[in-house]
């Protein structure tokens, strides 16, 4: 993993603890040069940090002002404005190895809504077969309220692949991070097929989340 020696020398502060990011990338076997999309990138801190380690990152955010600032501060990196990437930059999104999912409005209410599944399906269509899609959640009580990680896990489990929940300690006793991860299977799928899967998922779980009883996902499982 050629990016590890550069991690300690980076002067860019990412929006997550470096210890968390390092463990997350190692645990998922993300290799140097991997194409990574940060969906909900804000002003591009994580994109800049990943680029400094030797990855090939792209940022996506709905805020035009944040993307404008990200482009000014990182003229050599790629940023796009939008909530659903296929509507914004079409086939240029194909072939990502990893997508970080953070702050897009489609997931701000229920992650079981039709729009939430439509957005996730569109993002999944940008991944290579066997690519990874990761929702990150924090247990920090001082931060903004977030969805329960089990909501994200149930959301991702509606798509083809292996879904799991991982826990990461931040270095403090009060805060830990949880990642709901979907690794796609090896089957290539066309855009229309991802649209169909998103529609099917919304017909199964359409409604509120976080208030429902959740199954325990303590081990990897095969999604539908």
Dihedral sign (CA 131, 18, 217, 151): negative
Residue 97: its pLDDT value, please? 96
Least confident of 120-124, 204-208, 220-224: 220-224
Q: Which helix (H) or strand (E) is 6 found in, with range?
A: helix 4-7
Give the pLDDT score at 76: 95
Average pLDDT over residues 119-144: 83
Q: What is the model's pTM? A: 0.83
CB atoms within 10 A of CB 116: 27
Give me the domains of the chain, ranges plus CATH numbers: 4-222 (3.40.50.150)
Q: Is the pLDDT of residue 137 over 70?
A: yes
As to burial, measured by CB atoms within 10 angstroms (0-12 exposed, 13-18 middle, 19+ buried), residue 18 is middle
- Phi and psi angles of residue 84, each rounded to the nearest 5 degrees, phi first: -115, 110
pLDDT band at residue 145, thresholds of 50, 70 and 90? Answer: very low
State the burial class of residue 64 (Cβ atoms within 10 Å of its Cβ: 0-12, 13-18, 19+): exposed
At 114, list the tokens.
Answer: 């039709």
Report pLDDT digits (tens) over 164-215: 998 887 665 566 788 999 999 999 998 889 999 999 999 988 778 875 434 4
Q: Is 197 helix (H, G, I), strand (E, B) or coil?
A: helix
3-state secondary structure string across 67-117:
HHHHHHHCCCCEEEECCCHHHHHHHHHCCEEEEEECCCHHHCCCCCCHHHH
Indicate left, alpha or beta for 44 from its phi (over 0: left) and psi (-120 to 50: alpha): left
Tell me the per-residue pLDDT of 24-62, one tens digit each, with 9 for 90 and over: 899 999 999 999 999 989 999 999 999 999 999 999 998
Tens of pLDDT, residue by residue over 67-107, are: 999 999 999 999 988 766 555 555 455 689 999 988 788 88
Gap between the Cα atoms of 124 and 162, Å rounded: 13
């Amino acid at each position: 993993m050629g990016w590890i020696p550069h991690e300690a020398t980076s002067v860019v502060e990412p929006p997550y603890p470096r210890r968390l990011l390092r463990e997350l990338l190692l645990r998922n076997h993300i290799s140097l040069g991997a194409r990574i999309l940060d969906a909900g990138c804000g002003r591009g801190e994580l994109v800049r940090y990943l680029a400094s380690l030797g990855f090939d990152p792209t940022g996506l955010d709905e805020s035009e002002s944040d993307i404008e600032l990200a482009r000014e501060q990182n003229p050599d990196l790629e940023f796009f404005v939008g909530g659903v990437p296929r509507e914004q930059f079409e086939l240029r999104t194909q072939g990502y190895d990893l997508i970080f999912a953070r702050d897009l409005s489609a997931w701000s209410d229920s992650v079981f809504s039709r729009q939430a599944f439509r957005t996730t399906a569109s993002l999944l269509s940008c991944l290579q077969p066997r690519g990874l899609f990761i929702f990150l959640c924090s247990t920090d009580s001082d931060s903004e309220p977030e969805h329960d990680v089990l909501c994200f896990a149930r959301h991702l489990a509606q798509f083809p692949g292996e879904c799991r929940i991982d826990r990461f300690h931040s270095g403090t006793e009060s805060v830990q991070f949880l990642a709901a991860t979907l690794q796609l299977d090896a089957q290539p799928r066309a855009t229309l097929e991802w649209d169909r899967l998103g529609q099917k998922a919304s017909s199964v779980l359409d409604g509120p989340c976080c208030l429902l009883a959740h199954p325990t996902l303590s081990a990897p499982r095969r999604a539908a």
